[in-house]
Amino acid sequence: MNRFALTLLLIVLLLAPGIGSANPSGVGGGEFDAQCGGACHGDADMNRSSNAVISISAPDAVYEGLLTSVTVHIESIQTTQTGLLGVFLLSDLTGAQDTPADAGWDIVSNSEGEAFNYLETTVTAGTTSIDITWTLKAPPVGTYTLYGAIHHGNDNGDEAPYFGVSETPLSISVLEVPENLPRLADSFSPPTQRELGEITTITAPTEFVTDLGAEWRMNGGEATALNATQIQDGIWSFELPTSIQPSMIEWRVILAGDGPNQTSPWFQLRSDEPSWAVDNTLVYGQSIAMLFAIMAGFMALQTTLSRTTAEKERPELLIPPGGEF
């Protein structure tokens, strides 16, 4: 085998584990089109229909540029033994450019505390239904359609991709904002991540608000009121409780003014341990150096083996009796 063939074989072997494989352990949250409903877990053309029943809902009134929530409700859940379930929020089912962002929606957060249209959640044994909620900023005035979709494997271990979508799409009419509607300012962006033990102070700019109430809860439980104070004209502040272990809390505000009172969506805030900072450039550099080191080792071994073979094939020198020619 010549050096070129050996090098090519080595590269193929190094890349082989990542080629054409499914992802039974998930791919993590991200911005994914409907096509990923199969491709994230295998070949999209191999999709099977999930038996889950999926529905999607939103508040009755959605205003241009303001925050709202959309909830995907999933029943009759069937998934792998690990309970991993992928959930999508989509603007259509074409398989390309069908994320909410493609239709003008701006995702602020989801039930996993991330700002993506796709998330992965673990369904505990015995759970037959769950709700996944996204907080979004509404697009310009108009009528829009949203879908909820899921994908998962099965408990047979064959990594078969299953895909399901809401039977009825959600049609949302985005309205113009009434002049005196109490609301959070367009510039407000709620935090979605924090570290353990960190005191979180929310500073909320508002418009047409004369009084603001705030409350928080854990895992959809009972809400607890918070003390909110006006620190400047139209700007309110309150503190969320700290967390001593990784967890998720939700909070919202109730806005009062001359117009009809408004209640914001529930905002998700995840508490995690400090993450390690990784320099991707160094990682890539080390990987390339390792690749060249392995290639050099194989080439050196090939040279040694070739020299040994040549020596064995060389005819022995015969010396006549007496030690002279």
Q: What is the CATH number of the domain that holds 237?
A: 2.60.40.10
6 contacts: CB under 8 Å, gap ≥ 6: 298, 299, 302
User: ∠273-134-124 over CA atoms, to 5°?
Assistant: 60
Q: Give the end of a domain, one of 150, 177, 204.
A: 177
pLDDT at 312: 59
For the residues of 82-96, what is the DSSP string, one character each?
A: T-EEEEEEES-SSSS
Domain membership of residue 74 (yes or no) is yes
The pTM of the whole model exceeds 0.75: no
- Residue 292 region by backbone torsions, left for phi larger than 0, else alpha for psi between -120 and 50, else beta: alpha
Residue labelled with tokens 């969320």: 240
Q: Same domain for 172 and 44?
A: yes
How many separate domains does the chain show?
Answer: 2
**Domain-located, residue 309:** no
User: What is the pLDDT at residue 305?
Assistant: 66
Tell me: do 35 and 54 sit in the same domain: yes
Mean pLDDT in runs of 10 for the chain (325 residues)? Answer: 58 50 65 69 64 94 95 90 90 88 94 90 88 95 96 73 90 95 93 88 96 92 94 96 88 95 93 63 72 74 67 56 54
In a domain, 167, yes or no: yes
Kindly state whether residues 239 and 268 are assigned to the same domain. Answer: yes
215 shares a domain with 101: no
**Are 144 and 199 within one domain?**
no
Per the structure block, which two tokens stand in for 318? 């015969």
Among residues 177, 200, 222, the one where a domain terminates is 177
Q: Does any domain span residue 297?
A: no
**Contacts of residue 64, Cβ cutoff 8 Å, sequence gap at least 6:** 138, 139, 140, 141, 174, 175, 176, 177
Q: Does one domain contain both 72 and 145?
A: yes
Residues 46 and 154 in one domain: yes
Number of Cβ atoms within 10 Å of the Cβ of 21: 10
Domain that holds residue 37: 28-177
* CA nearest to 169, candidates 196, 143, 197: 143
Residue 211 token pair? 């009084």
pLDDT of residue 82: 84
| Adjacent-strand bridge partners of 57 | 71
Same-domain check for residues 218 and 169: no
Residue 3, domain member (yes or no): no
Residue 321, domain member (yes or no) = no
Residues 135 and 217 in one domain: no
Domain boundary among 152, 177, 202: 177
pLDDT at 3: 60
pLDDT of residue 20: 43
Residues 132 and 188 in one domain: no
Distance CA 136, CA 105 (A): 6
Within-domain flag for 97? yes
Same domain, yes or no: 173 and 183: no
> CA 180 → CA 59, 184, 260, 322, distances in Å?
20, 12, 8, 121
Residue 195 counted as domain residue: yes
Beta bridge partners of 67: 137
Q: How many CB atoms lie within 10 A of CB 163?
A: 22
- CATH number of domain containing 119: 2.60.40.150
Q: Are 49 and 94 found together in one domain?
A: yes
